[in-house]
C-alpha cells in the first residue's frame, strides 16, 4: 500500500518550526506533495528529509519567499520533471512531477485570484495547464495530480456557497473549469468514498474559522480514471495544524 499526501504547507521553514518532521515521522507517508513552500533550497536544510528516508525534490519560485512546490518520496523516482516548460508558469514554481514505474505524481499550486490582475493570470494558467495535462496524459498515463487548486468544486465544498458565489475560488467560471478538468479523465479521490458536506482543507486565519469549521475544500488528489480501482482509501487530515491548510491523502494499491 502506498500512502500519498498533498499538503499546502504555507511556508516550509515555519512548518519545520511547528514539528513538521516529527509529524511526518509518526504518520509515515510514502509520498508527500508540498505546495507554497515559500523558500529556495538554500534557505532550509533538505537533509532533514533525507535523514527520515526520503528522496526530496524542490521547485522554487524566482521570487524569494513566494509560492514553490516540493515532493518527498520514499520510493526512488525514475524521472523528475521540474515545471511545465511554460515560462510564465515555471517562473512562479508551481509544478513538479515524479515518475515511478507504475504511476506518476505531480505537485500543483494553482494561482489564487486575489485581485483582477491575478484573476486574469489564474484563468490563463488554468487554460494552459489543462492543455498541458491533456497532452501529458498520453505520455504519462497513470497520473495523480495533488495540490492546492484554489477552487471549490461544488457547494458542499465550501461553508457558505451563497455569500461566496462572487469570490475567487468559487466563481462559476472556476467551478466549471475544475468540473470539466475532472470529467476529462480524472476522479476526485476524496469523493470516491465520501460525499458528505463540511469536509474542508483550508480555513481563513480570521474569525476563528478553523475552530468553527468555516472552510473551503480547495486541495485535491485527482487521479486518472483507470487508477480509481487502485485507490483503497482517501481522507482529509483536518486535525493537522502546521498551516492554514491541512493534508489530504489517498492510499494506492499497485
Residues tagged active-site: 148
**53: alpha, beta or left, given left = phi > 0 and alpha = psi -120 to 50?**
left
Q: Which single residue is written with the C-alpha cell 521570487?
A: 63
What is the rounded CA–CA span in Å between residue 36 and residue 17?
16
Amino acid at each position: 500500500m502506498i500512502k500519498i499526501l498533498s499538503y499546502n504547507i504555507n511556508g516550509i521553514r515555519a512548518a519545520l518550526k511547528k514539528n513538521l518532521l516529527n509529524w511526518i515521522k509518526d504518520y509515515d507517508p510514502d509520498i508527500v506533495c508540498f505546495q507554497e513552500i515559500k523558500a529556495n533550497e538554500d534557505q532550509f536544510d533538505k537533509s532533514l528529509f533525507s535523514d527520515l528516508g526520503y528522496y526530496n525534490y524542490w521547485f522554487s519560485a524566482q521570487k524569494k519567499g513566494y509560492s514553490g512546490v516540493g515532493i518527498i518520496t520514499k520510493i526512488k523516482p525514475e524521472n523528475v520533471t521540474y515545471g511545465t516548460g511554460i515560462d510564465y508558469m515555471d517562473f512562479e514554481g508551481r509544478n513538479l512531477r515524479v515518475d515511478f514505474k507504475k504511476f506518476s505524481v505531480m505537485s500543483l499550486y494553482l494561482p489564487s485570484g486575489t485581485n483582477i490582475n491575478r484573476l486574469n493570470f489564474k484563468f490563463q494558467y488554468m487554460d494552459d495547464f489543462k492543455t498541458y495535462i491533456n497532452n501529458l496524459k498520453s505520455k504519462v498515463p497513470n497520473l495523480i495530480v495533488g495540490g492546492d487548486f484554489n477552487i471549490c468544486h461544488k457547494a458542499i465544498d465550501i461553508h457558505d456557497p451563497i455569500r461566496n458565489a462572487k469570490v475567487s475560488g468559487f466563481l462559476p467560471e472556476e467551478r466549471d473549469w475544475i468540473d470539466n478538468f475532472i470529467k476529462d479523465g480524472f476522479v476526485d479521490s476524496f469523493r470516491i468514498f465520501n460525499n458528505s458536506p463540511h469536509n474542508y482543507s483550508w480555513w481563513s486565519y480570521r474569525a476563528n474559522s478553523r475552530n468553527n469549521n468555516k472552510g473551503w475544500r480547495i486541495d485535491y488528489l485527482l487521479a486518472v480514471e483507470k487508477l480509481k480501482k487502485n485507490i483503497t482509501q482517501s481522507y482529509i487530515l483536518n486535525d493537522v495544524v502546521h498551516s492554514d491548510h491541512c493534508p489530504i491523502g489517498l492510499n494506492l494499491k499497485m
